[in-house]
Amino acid sequence: MKLNIKFNQKRQIWVWLTLLLLVGLIQLITLFPPFIERFYSCAFYKFYAQKLRALLGWIPFSAGDILYFIVGVWGLVWIIKLLKYIFTRNWKLLTKRIILFVKIVLVIYIWFMLGWGLNYHRQGIAEQLNLQVQPYSTEELCTLRDSLAVQLNYWRKQVSSDTTLPTPALKYLYHEAAADYLQSAQQYSFLKYAFPSIKSSLFSPWAKYFGWGGYYNPFTGEAQVRNNLPRILIPFTVLHEIAHQIGYAGEEEANFVGFIVGKTSTHPYVVYSCYSELYKYVFSELLQRNTFPDKSPALDTLVKYDFKQINLFFRREDNNIAPQIMNLYDIYLRVNQQTNGIDSYNQVVGLLIAYQKKYGKI
């Protein structure tokens, strides 16, 4: 019996040492973005994520959502048990549970970082396209807004001359986004996307309380999309989530990659979706700077109508819970190298201006 206890203690020490060593190693690697870019993002991660998508992509529903649900229920049971130990003053079992909890958190952290999270520390798309991202002036911002407005007006007319936008099937839009990546990969091989795994989120009916349009599950490699959004928002959301799947963890990077892929789509609906999303980011940057000169080319009546419909949709969904969830997400992003938290989405503007400077136009 004594021997057994000693063996158990020794094993525990080894488990803790291994976990802490792995955490330390991961932290050390994050200091070397070129190393991560070459050996993780463009090598190990690509292989691993592809296998994960091949494994689960064919399942018609989100396996990751089921996993999250189970973990959520399990977490609740866990908390109830903890409370029971506190009330019955069972300190021994309480300590045991807490130690086990810390161990599980460490395992999840290691799994998360090795399975995706290291991508937050890569060099990324700016390095791959050799873009010089620098602070930009309001004038540059206005030039970008103007060129986006011209594109928006043009592509809206290509979609349809009706006031109401068409609503293509979700399946079709998911398929199209994957096809757009394949097409872009002919020019940029690092955008190759094999084994699509795009699912409608099982949590879509409650999404308004969370404030997201889509999310990537780093444990199952699936991209989830909120299927009850205004349809015109779906193409860009899917393109954004696929960018996460192929290893662009940063929100501004996923936005930018989604945009450069979507803007060359053969489907005007997809192109229009991308331009309207980017216009929104530029617009909000201008608002933040309190500068909004009127000289810009006017938006087409149809484009204005579409924007109004989208605004109305979100105004109808307004609730008190979503901002709290967004605060939590903001913390998550800040912990993961996204120093601007929820504003990271907007940093796509810096990438766009650098891209515009290099290639002349958007």
Q: How far is the CB of 345 from Zn ion (least distance, A)?
A: 8
Nearer to Zn ion, 155 or 216 (CB): 216
Q: How far is the CB of 277 from Zn ion (least distance, A)?
A: 12
Contact at 8 Å (CB) between 128 and 41?
A: no
- Whichever of 41 and 147 has its CB closer to Zn ion, that residue is 41
Give 189's contacts (C-beta < 8 A, 6+ positions apart).
Answer: none
- Per CB under 5 A, contacts with Zn ion among 123-152 are none
> Which lies closer to Zn ion via its Cβ, residue 254 or residue 278?
254
Distance CA(169)–CA(108), nearest Å, equals 36
Tell which positions 278-337 bind Zn ion, by CB under 5 A.
none
Query: By the 8 A CB rule, do 136 and 350 touch?
Result: yes
Of the two residues 65 and 251, which places its CB atom closer to Zn ion in the complex? 251
CA distance linking residue 334 with residue 259, whole number of Å: 24
Q: Return phi, psi of residue 224, to 5°.
A: -105, 140
Least distance between Zn ion and beta carbon 255 (Å)? 8
251 versus 285: smaller Cβ distance to Zn ion: 251
Looking at the Cβ atoms of 184 and 217, the one nearer to Zn ion is 217
Residue 212 or 275 with smaller CB distance to Zn ion: 212
Q: Which residues pair with 223 in a beta bridge?
A: 198, 216
Give the CB-side neighbour count of residue 134, counting CA atoms within 13 A.
Answer: 8
State in angstroms the smallest separation of the CB of 174 from Zn ion: 16
Tell the smallest beta-carbon distance from residue 145 to Zn ion (Å). Answer: 23
Least CB distance to Zn ion at residue 225 (A): 11
> Which residue's CB is nearer to Zn ion, number 222 or number 299?
222
Minimum CB distance to Zn ion, residue 237 (Å): 9
**Residue whose token pair is 């929820």:** 342
The C-alpha atoms of residue 239 and residue 265 are separated, in whole angstroms, by 11
Size of the site for Zn ion (CB under 5 A): 2
Neighbours of 359 (CB within 10 A): 11
Least distance (Å) between residue 20 CB and Zn ion: 30
With both helix axes pointing from N to C terminus, report the angle between 170-185 and 251-262 in degrees, rounded to the nearest 10. 90
Q: Which is nearer to Zn ion, 147 or 338 (CB)?
A: 338
Nearest distance in Å: CB 63, Zn ion: 20
Residues in contact with Zn ion, shown as a per-residue x/- string from 232 to 271 under the rule CB under 5 A? -------------------x--x-----------------
C-beta of 181: minimal distance to Zn ion in Å?
A: 16
**Residue 101 vs 314, nearer CB to Zn ion:** 314
Residues 155 and 273: their CA atoms lie apart, in Å, by 9
User: Which residues are near Zn ion by CB under 5 A?
Assistant: 251, 254
